[in-house]
Structure 1
Amino acid sequence: MKFGSARFRRAVVDRMPVEKVQALKNVADTMDETAVHIYQKKKVALANGTLESEIAAGQDIISMLLKQNEVVPPEEQMTEEEIIAHVNLLVFGGNDTTSSSLGQTFYLLAQHPDVQDRLREEVREAHRLYGRDLDYDQLNSLTFLDAVCRESLRLWSPAQLSERVACVDYNLPLYHPVKSKDGKTMISNIHVPKGTHIYLSLGSANRDKQTWGEDADKFNPYRWLEPLPSSVSESKIPGVYSNMMTFLGGPRACLGFKFSLAEMKIVLSLLVSRFRFEPGSEDIEWTLSGILRPYVRGKDGAVDWARGATLPMKVTVLE
């Protein structure tokens, strides 16, 4: 719900004496400044004809967005404000979610040293065969690295909730029928009226014991090294990635999920081969604030919000 003009809303936020509101405003300002800087840089490169000499040779999504915006009819062209908004979304969507996934993966590896040791052994063997700079195909050939990424993303999806709005009246079939309130009948579908707001629990779908088995709440990357049970393969979960809802599905699925996976594998392979990760001395609480973020628990057991999102760990240099 919006009230007043953008200038009015900004004035209200500027004068709001709430520390968290001001901190959020500063984050939003930093993101917007970054998006404007990226846009201006790409715009100048496009005007000068130097896009092809930059990283990705002008084939990155922002460069392609600018180039296509110049060739479409004027009535279909996006405004500068709309393009910057797209850049903002891409920067946010491709940064915080991946960093959250990596943090959670290192946290899980620290808690499961046997898994970490096996992963390190696989990566080091690949380094002996191919050198330290593994290419895309070589990274994807590391089956245990892939299993660790899949299991981490299944267990802890960075975004746990997603909202959708029904565009038409629809009878939604349930894969697992549920009992009615009186417990006398089983419900196999739900009528969803047009305009209904639906909140999808991605984490619940990924941890459903009827689908994934009794160990659905446990970190077990070994499950991906053998054929998945029929309850998973036959579940028809519409996710774009490994029968999971982590990256959603359909036309509004995460468009950069393969890039995110490549980032995760590169960072994990480089760091796990050189360092050992162990739990720190402080308790960590993963909380949902848009995406999952780690916070330290104080001695009284309460989350120390003042420290912000942080993940203290013991890191030992191996080489």
Structure 2
Amino acid sequence: MFWLLLGLLFIILYLYNYKKLNYWTNKGVKQKKTFLLYELYKMFFMKKSFVELLQDTYNEFPDSRYSGSFQLYSPLLVLKDSELIKQITVKDFEHFTDHINLVPEGIEPLWTSNLFALKGDKWRDMRATLSPAFTSSKMRAMFALMSDCAQEVAKYFENHQGESKSIELRDLFTRYTNDVIATCAFGVQCNSIKQRNNEFYLMGNLATDFTGIWKITKLLIYMMLPKLSKILGFSFFEKSVSIFFRRIIKDTIKMREENNVTRPDMIHLLMDARKGQLNYDENIAIQDAGFAAVEESEIGKTVKKVKDVITDDDITAQALIFFFAGFDSVATLMVLMAYELAVHPDIQERLQNEIDIVLEENDGKITYDAINKMKYLDMVTSETLRKWPPNIVINRVCVKPYTIPAVLPDEIPVTLQVGDAISVPVYGIHRDPKNYPNPEKFDPERFNDENKVNIEAYTYLPFGSGPRNCIGSRFALIETKVVYIHLLAKFNIVVTEKSEIPVKLSKTGFNFNSKNGFWFGLKLRDS
């Protein structure tokens, strides 16, 4: 009897799986055959890195504008064509306003209340509220805070040359991004290079760490069995993380209100927004931050009264997603930029020459305006984002029925239903030789004045596309550039015996990482 029941269960699962996983075929969309158990196996026992799995999906149907895929059981339409990406993420944005929600509402308010996770009108209101905090004028005000953190990094290794001979770069740059976010978003000053076990860094590391079988299992239960995750009382963040960041925000707001303290950071800007005193005051061209910076949509520029009162928890949620996005993702950009400079010393030397000239012209000082005039620094940063985009994939959810008209001879109209998701594989698009010849080569000249105007729109998407693009692109770019000016003014980034060249991507986690770490050295230039 047991074996009969087990056999029936497998038959039911197979038939359900067959129907579900032929979703796209039934719509006339090319898709790769798959099976749930195999997808789970790939996730738990990865034979390839996550980005390599995404690249395989991108390459499956090279001549198609789109193809069918799945996120476990959930249908996912993979977009490859730049015009279609523009149509869906910009022109017809009203049909695709939301992100895929990995965490069900009601489980973790500090996650579901942040700008990334919010949906519909709630997202619109919060985007309009937060956008004024990320204009060039606000970045200019925060610049001194960033520069102080970068200066501390360079000064430390200048005074501890023994430690600079071999450095794990992810550890170094997450400590720097931690300190920048702590001071610019939370109003907390840290020096994580000197004080390696400070509470802010430890909590930030815990909040952004999604390695390990248990954490992956929780994510799967969120995605596949959201009701069960509620019953089991799962939380997205560790309890200690939620308590810590709530306390930081509450205590800081109380202290500032009682003592009338003003500081050019995110908490102050959100406190102004709560009072209705934060306005969009952008008067500087978008390119002031560099080629990769994205332009704010009219939604973000709209000055409107927020319908709901901004609570302390709302402020904590926005500050925490800022940390979540900036702690590891921006550090990843910095790590891989260092990797490319170390293995291309000619590019590093040219960049250092530009830095030397700018510092000489400005009496050794680093200013916001000077950084924005550094063309080669922007070319190197832009090419790093092209080859190694931290945001490797963009997703959107269909909120109104939408039909993709047939364009190619082998296509038929494809109707997407509410709840269907689309995916834009940024990593695949940036590595496609049709878009970037010899894509594996690190070549900043792709972004010189002559060549960058020829880059096809919507084939360069390091910070996303459309109204739901990354609100912090300016912040990330300035934060990256300022630390490199401070470091390269004094050091060469050099290959060491522990350096892994070419880099071998780790098969765990969802971002660019190396199993053995990114080990390089900082060598004083005058030695």
- Normalising by structure 1, we get a TM-score of 0.74
Matches for 1:9-88 after TM superposition, within 5 Å: 21=214, 28=238, 31-33=241-243, 35-52=245-262, 54=263, 56=264, 60-70=265-275, 76-88=308-320
Alignment deviations for residues 77-116 of structure 1 (CA, whole Å, 9 cap, x no partner): 1443333222211111122211110001001111111101
1:200 equivalenced with 2:419 (yes/no): no
Please give the alpha-carbon distance, in whole angstroms, between the structure 1 residues aligned to 2:236 and 2:399.
Answer: 35
- Say whether residues 1:150 and 2:354 are aligned partners: no
Against the structure 1 CA distance between its residues 186 and 22, is the aligned structure 2 distance closer, same or farther, given a 3 Å change threshold? closer
Q: Describe the shift of the 1:202–1:38 C-alpha distance in structure 2 as closer, same or farther (beyond 3 A).
A: farther
8 Å CA contact retained: 2:342, 2:495? yes
CA distance in 2, matches of 1:120, 1:93: 29
3-state SS in 1 of match to 2:396: strand
Note if contact 1:123-1:269 (Cα within 8 Å) is conserved in structure 2.
Answer: yes
How much does 1:123 deviate?
Answer: 0.7
Determine whether 1:227 maps to 2:446: no
Residue of 245, 269, 273 corresponding to 2:461: 245
In 2: Cα distance, 1:218 partner to 1:19 partner: 33
Cα offset for 1:259?
1.2
**Which of the numbers 265, 276, 289 marks the counterpart of 2:481?**
265
Cα deviation, residue 200, structure 1:
2.1
Identical-residue share of aligned pairs (%)? 21
| Displaced runs of 4 or more, over 4 A | 1-6, 22-31, 70-75
- Partners of 1:109 and 1:20 lie apart in 2 by 35
Aligned twin of 1:306: none
* 8 Å contact from structure 1 (residues 35, 91) kept in 2: no
Q: Which residue of 2 aligns with 1:285?
A: 504
Structure 1 unaligned residues grouped into runs of 5+:
7-17, 179-184, 238-242, 297-309
Give the CA deviation at 1:265.
0.8
3-state DSSP of counterpart to 1:291: coil
**1:2 deviation in Å?**
5.1
Q: Return the alpha-carbon distance in structure 2 between the equivalents of residues 100 and 261 of structure 1.
A: 12
Cα distance change, pair 159–3 in 1 and its aligned pair in 2 (3 A): closer
For the 8 Å contact 1:103–1:311, the answer to whether it is kept is: yes
**Larger strand fraction of residues:** 1
Question: Which residue identity does 1:274 align to in structure 2?
Answer: K
Matches of 2:493 and 2:107, distance apart in 1:
49
Q: Normalising by structure 2, report the TM-score.
A: 0.46
Matched with 1:10 is none
Preserved contact between residue 277 and residue 315 of structure 1 (Cα < 8 Å): yes
Residue type of the alignment partner of 1:266? V
How many pairs were matched up?
Answer: 274
RMSD of aligned alpha carbons: 3.4
Q: Does 1:165 align with 2:392?
A: no
Distance in 2 of aligned mates of 1:141 and 1:220: 20
Change in CA separation of 1:219 and 1:34 when aligned onto 2, cut-off 3 Å: farther
Partner in structure 1 of residue 457 of structure 2: 236
Q: CA deviation at 1:201?
A: 1.0
- SS state at 1:313 partner: strand
Is the 2:246–2:313 contact (alpha carbons within 8 Å) kept by the matching residues of 1?
no
Any idea what SS the aligned residue of 1:160 has?
Answer: coil
| Cα distance in 1 between the residues matched to 2:440 and 2:236 | 37
Q: How does 1:119-198 map to 2 (within 5 A)?
A: 119-172=351-404, 185-187=409-411, 190-198=414-422
SS at match of 1:316: strand
Inter-partner Cα distance in structure 1 for 2:412 and 2:454 = 18
